[in-house]
Amino acid sequence: MKTTTLVVGSLEALREVLASGGLVTLASGADVVIVPTAAAFTGITEAAIELSTVFDDIDVKVEALMIAERASCAEPYFAQRIGQADLVVLGDGSALHAMSVWRGTPVGDAIRDTHQLIAVGSCASVLGEVMIDPRGGAPTTGLGYREGLAIGVQASDDQLARTRALLGDEVTLAVLGPRGVVHFDGTKWSKASDDVIVTRAETEVAL
């Protein structure tokens, strides 16, 4: 089955995507699984509730998997639910925490292999082979679940300049604003909104 991935800059961007249709395929009664792991430091329960409200007006079944620590990622139930879901949504929060929890676990493998994935905000950076360390903007090793693009969110001009300089012209970087959306169809990435800046080093490029 073909894998599709959507990265959105905020919950508002996700609402707009779901309202417009096209990029997300959900049949009536579809099974949606929310994974708010990255929000562990800011409130995993609150994050799960807020994210679930995006689907209030859509005829789908929503379950939040409260996976905040690495030990939970070995639970067969969690990996099975992610693997069986029609759509998996990764909540916003710390990409570094998500990476430490998911790396090399059954849950992480299930996220990698899910056929329809949405990542919200900063958490999306962990998906690539290269992720952006939010503590200073330096590139580091991501989980490698999706290839071809490094993903970041808005930061200061100085920090973004540092990130682009360190990445050089060998890595394509997409920086998403709050309304930003990028889409991976299993083969290539594309911009799905204007609130995205794509660069190689300091040069803006097409995606």
Residue 188 and residue 148 in contact, taking contact as beta carbons nearer than 8 Å: yes
**At 3, is the pLDDT very low, low, confident or very high (cuts 50, 70, 90)?**
confident
**At 1, is the pLDDT very low, low, confident or very high (cuts 50, 70, 90)?**
low
Region 127-149 average pLDDT: 94
- Among 206, 204, 205, 202, smallest CA distance to 163 is for 202
In terms of average pLDDT, the best of 17-21, 37-41, 58-62 is 58-62
Region 170-180 average pLDDT: 96
Please give the residue that has the higher pLDDT: either 41 or 95.
95
Residue 102 has pLDDT above 90, yes or no: yes
**At 40, is the pLDDT very low, low, confident or very high (cuts 50, 70, 90)?**
confident
Give the 3-state secondary structure of residue 112: helix
Give the 3-state secondary structure of residue 164: helix
Q: What is the CATH number of domain 4-204?
A: 3.40.50.880
**What pLDDT does residue 22 have?**
83
- How is the chain split among helix, strand and coil, in percent rounded to 5? 35, 25, 40
Burial 43-52 (b: 16+ CB within 10 A, else e): ebeebbebbb
- Give the residue extent of every domain in the chain: 4-204
Whether the predicted model's global pTM rises above the 0.85 cut: yes
**What pLDDT does residue 2 have?**
67
What are 70-83's pLDDT values in tens digits?
A: 999 999 999 999 99
Across the chain, mean pLDDT equals 94
